[in-house]
Chains A and B, each alone.
Chain A
Amino acid sequence: MKNDIVLSMRGICKAFPGVRALQNVDFTLCKGEIHALMGENGAGKSTLIKVLTGVHPKDSGQISLAGEEVSIKSPSEAQSLGISTVYQEITLCPNLSVAENMFIGRGNYRLVKWRTIEKKTTEILSKLNIPARAAQQLGSCSLAVQQMVAVARAVDMDCKVLILDEPTSSLDEHEVEMLFALMRDLKSRGVGIIFITHFLEQVYEVCDKITVLRNGEFIGEYEIKDLPRIQLISKMMGKELDDISALEKKDTERVKDAEPVVYEAEGLSSSYAPHTFNFEVHKGEVNGFTGLLGSGRSESVRAIFGADKPSTGMIKINGKKVKIAKPRDAMKHGIGYLPEDRKEDGIVADLSVRENIILALQVMQGFFKPFSKAEAEAFADEYIKLLGIKTASTDTPISSLSGGNQQKVILARWLLTNPQYLILDEPTRGIDVGTKVEIQKLVLKLAEEGVSVTFISSEIEEMLRTCSRLIVMRDRKIVGELKGEEMTQAKIMHTIAGEVKSND
């Protein structure tokens, strides 16, 4: 049995200023196994990976590969030892081409033939069904494609250990299936895979073992069959999951057609959402845009907020005609927008958690009215507590927070502006199961208080639980609208696929 172990980590400790990110953590990975690393936001999963691959030096502990103790000092060293990693935040270069991204920094410094690279890339892309061209600039691809490219880049190398830190957060079902097929293939070839995700179904679908971390501590290692979902959750949270039956909907009650219209768009379009659409939002309503990736749901809400400059359209807020050409205009009319791409559009990396939280409200307040340090501190403290953001202090730069906690900071930023209409594009991306429920509850509570919300999520269940009206999109066009009783998973899938023809 012993020589089946490809990787073992013993007694790993790692502290950052003000945080003990890992305390005495053990981890064992066998040949040909898919091993889930689970834990809440900030539990230390990414940190464990980064210690393993030499991004951060460890404070103490041992790492051995195939029984031999190693000391890995840099990611390139890890790579040459056969550890391939897809980090949580995409670390590719958006202004290089897909092919360049696949092959850059590959360790072997032989001269590379450009033609070969493009050909090889095209091969890999088609094998994995990634909808991108080798010569295309990576930045012009959707987040999902970028994530797939990052995975493709890692698995293309002959590796013994493959690490995937939340690789599926931007993928839809279909792409996830493709990734899983790939993972199973590698597994049968004897590769050990570490898989981090917050989607429990995915864990139970592909994994063999689970290691659970909580607050930087090792909780245990379990065979997948010995740890049912409920127990896994309570191991991760250290308590039982809140009852989500409270969220079970009473559809008819929640349909808000009778309420006044807060926001109304007629013939809205932008260069990214080329087909004009009409859209209205009622007071206290939670609606959602759904559709496959690339169906244009994000682009539509970006046009609403003015994130992409609208090319046509008439907007009315509370019945009054207004002009929304840029985000600032939308903010003035009480619209908030949490963007899909946290790293590029959301966080301001080197600034502190406090500055990141107050940013939008501060801008609305005006250039000449900065908040005093005490005011800003009070705002930040309030929302850190409300959303349970794990941070050493309000002065910590946001980039040193865990992925899920960064997301919460951006959410806090928009909640703080007290909007009358809040657009949330994938607000629960990278957020752990417990907090996901909290956020859904929060959305419903906001709606009860009269705030209108537009909610986008790749998880249909989540949308069904929170929304009372769904706009269905396909090929950048609105193809249907479902309300109340009509909102079932089957019906949504049908509308997306275009199998249900309208009655004309």
Chain B
Amino acid sequence: MINGIKKIARSQLLVPIIALLALIIFNLFRDINFFTISLITNNEGNQVLSGNIISILTGASELAILAIGMTLVTAAARGQDISVGAAAAIAGSVFVNILRSTQITPGVIIGAFVACCLVAILFGMFNGTLVAIFKIQPMIASLILFTSGRSVAYWINGGASPTVESPLISHLGSFIPGIPIPTPVLVVIVFCIIVALILRFTNLGLYTQSVGINERSARLNGINSVWIKMLTFMFLGVCCAIAGVIAVSRIGLINHETILLDIEMDAILAVAIGGNSLGGGKFSLIGSLMGAYIIQALTITLYAMQVPSTDVKAYKAIVIIAIVVLGSPIVKRYAAQLRDKLAKKPMKVTENY
């Protein structure tokens, strides 16, 4: 038990855990009922879960998925992809426009999803090629798609904000009848399980970390670093597609200008809050996941405190800076020294007597 605590104290998850606890405690003091979950009947007549926790979990779905993809890209490519919002907008547009062209059945939805995955993978390969083969900084490479992606979405949509009206889609965006858990949350759970299985049954983790830490020695050990970087970008592409589909399904339409706006910054932040180095190398997906939920919890807390939506970003920035500074190596070293000092104090006292 004590060993377990010591392990956490030294791990990179310490700061996100503290941040999450602080948010929880703060909210409990503010409003003892903040975390109450209740079963209500929604306007479609289904029994569904409701409450702030549920809104946090649901609201963070796209962010959580993108944060996982971003973590892998960061680990291998030592940089971030800032085009994920734009890529998700393109994927969402493809999804909507395929659905609009025919009768919507579950089969068609799956087909449309596969199609938009392929499109997003293609864009991932575009970024990946620039980064892995042409050795362009990831942020610069993805700047191209970042600036042009939403225009591409605009062309796909023919300038309008097309809608899809189908109960199936609204099930995807909110609740499946008979299941009280929001569908986006289920999607995240399934996605995480798949990622965990991939990491367990392949060497993706070892290879991406090796490439990110020391590309030269990774190559001398037979790892194809170009392919590994490409793979992480393609994987992030899939994440964009899933995020885009969730976002579209929530409201049943695609607006290329507003869909998942600024999410790339939140995804990068989630990676950083999770204690991962933005300089690549070792990573913790659990950390990034926690980062995503921390960001969302913060937003919901601020809204619950009646902070005007125009001010939310400023408050968010303050808290996030605090978290990131807490996790910085300088503070960590200082904390470790302090801990050592505290641990030694009693011994010195006994010596003196």
Contact = CB atoms under 8 A, between A and B. Distances in A.
Nearest to B228: A367
Contacts of B326: none
B221 to A, nearest CB: 5
Residue among A59, A345, A359 with max Cβ neighbours from chain B (10 Å): A359
Contacts of A305: 220
Contacts of B200: 370
Interface string B191-213: 00000000011111011011001
Interface string A336-369: 0101000011111111000100011011101110
A344 B222 contact: no
A328 interface: yes
A339 B219 CA distance: 12
A348 B222 contact: no
Contacts of B10: 17
Residue among B203, B218, B222, B340 with max Cβ neighbours from chain A (10 Å): B222
Contacts of A339: 217, 220
Contacts of B209: 348, 350-351
B202 A368 contact: yes
B202 A327 contact: no
Contacts of A345: 216-217, 220
A52 interface: no
A355 B209 CA distance: 11
Interface in B146-200: 200
A360 B222 CA distance: 7
Contact of A347 (B217, B282, B337): B217
Interface string B208-249: 011001101111111110000000000000000000000000
A57 interface: yes
B349 to A, nearest CB: 15
B85 interface: no
B207 A367 contact: yes
Interface string B4-17: 00000010000000
A370 B201 contact: yes
B203 A327 contact: no
Contact of B210 (A17, A346, A348): A348
Given A57-B337, A339-B220, A368-B201, A359 B210 contact: yes
B213 A327 contact: no
Interface string A1-36: 000000000000000010000000000000000000
B281 interface: yes
Contacts of B281: 350
A281 interface: no
Contacts of A328: 222-224
Nearest to B231: A367
Contact of A360 (B221, B224, B282): B221
A377 B283 CA distance: 21
A370 B337 contact: no
B272 to A, nearest CB: 17
A359 B218 CA distance: 9
A362 B217 CA distance: 14
B129 to A, nearest CB: 19
A368 B204 CA distance: 9
A355 B202 CA distance: 14
Contact of A346 (B203, B204, B217, B282): B217
A292 interface: no
Contacts of B214: 344, 347-349
Nearest to A364: B222
A186 B222 CA distance: 46
Contacts of B337: 57
Contacts of A360: 221-222
A443 interface: no
Given A348-B210, A350-B213, A351-B213, A370 B202 contact: yes
Contacts of A349: 213-214
Contact residues of B: prevailing secondary structure: helix
Contacts of B201: 368, 370
A368 B203 CA distance: 6
A345 B340 CA distance: 35
Contact of A355 (B204, B206, B216): B206
A409 to B, nearest CB: 12
Nearest to B227: A367
Given A359-B210, A368-B201, A370-B203, A350 B221 contact: no
Contacts of B224: 328
Contacts of A413: 221
A348 B210 CA distance: 6
A303 interface: no
A348 B217 contact: yes
A17 B201 CA distance: 31
B43 to A, nearest CB: 47
A307 interface: yes
Nearest to A332: B222
Contacts of B282: 350-351
Contacts of A48: none
A438 to B, nearest CB: 24
A127 B10 CA distance: 48
Contacts of A326: 219
Nearest to A363: B222
Contacts of A17: 10
Nearest to A399: B213
B341 to A, nearest CB: 10
B221 A363 contact: yes
Nearest to B223: A363
Nearest to A329: B222
Contacts of A350: 209, 213, 281-282
Contacts of A359: 206, 210, 221
Contacts of A367: 202-204, 207
A328 B222 CA distance: 4
A377 B186 CA distance: 36
Given A348-B213, A348-B214, A368-B201, A337 B206 contact: no
Residue among A57, A339, A363, A413 with max Cβ neighbours from chain B (10 Å): A363
A331 interface: yes
Contact of B220 (A57, A327, A370): A327
A248 B218 CA distance: 38
Contacts of B213: 348-351
Residue among B202, B220, B281 with max Cβ neighbours from chain A (10 Å): B220
A72 to B, nearest CB: 15
Nearest to B333: A57
A328 B224 CA distance: 8
Contacts of A59: 340
Contact of A351 (B203, B210, B220): B210
A378 B223 CA distance: 23
A327 B217 contact: no
A327 B214 CA distance: 15
B218 A348 contact: yes
Nearest to A341: B216
A142 to B, nearest CB: 16
Contacts of A368: 201-203
Contacts of A362: 203, 206
A357 to B, nearest CB: 11
Given A360-B221, A362-B206, 8 more contacts: A345-B220, A346-B220, A348-B209, A349-B213, A350-B209, A351-B282, A370-B202, A413-B221
Interface of B: 10, 200-204, 206-207, 209-210, 213-214, 216-224, 281-282, 337, 340
6 contacts: A59-B340, A305-B220, A337-B220, A348-B209, A368-B201, A370-B200
In the A-B complex, list the 5 residue pairs whose CB atoms are closest, starting with the nearest: A328-B222, A363-B222, A350-B282, A360-B221, A331-B222
